Structure 1
Amino acid sequence: MGWTMLYLFVFLKLPIVAACYILWWAVKQTTDTDDVTNDGGAPVPRRPHPRRPRRPRPPRRGGPGCGERLAPPPRVRSVTAVGRARTPHH
């Protein structure tokens, strides 16, 4: 039981300690751009924002100043199969 507790308390904590050290080391690092001074070179040109094509406006229907309202489109009925489709296959 003694070695089990030592394993749980010490050896399993080593990866956690190593991860904390790596994070601390990464935070303390300096970047290469800290030493570079800006000498006022040419500015980087900006790319234009890609524009989406505009959708056409929907037609205006009804309302004042628009004249008569448009009639609804004619109703279309679907064709029903009569005859062979309703007879059982032999």
Structure 2
Amino acid sequence: MTLAPARGARITQSDGNTGVRPANGDDAKDKKGVYYRAHRSVVDQGGIINERFYDAQGGEIERLPNGSVSGAVKLIYTTGNNQPFHTVPKQR
């Protein structure tokens, strides 16, 4: 799966551009622009993303009220239907 920023970088390079600037509202409407082309050429990533943290014994642990996670050795990102799509550290 390619994300819009990566696609935008490829479009920018293939167009021969050497620099970029932050996108603005007009860029989203410009059908010839990098922003418009990049965002129209990638898969929509809408939906809920969940984080699941695990300790060394494999038990799931929750975030603390201050937002930190104590003792986590693994993080799995899942979609709203619990399909994993990224694990930190990567599984071998």
Q: TM-score, normalised by structure 2?
A: 0.16
Select the structure of larger CA radius of gyration. Answer: 1
Q: Which has the higher contact order (CA 8 A, sep 6+)?
A: 2
Q: Which has the higher strand share?
A: 2
When you count helix as a share of all residues, which structure comes out higher?
1
TM-score, normalised to structure 1's length?
A: 0.16
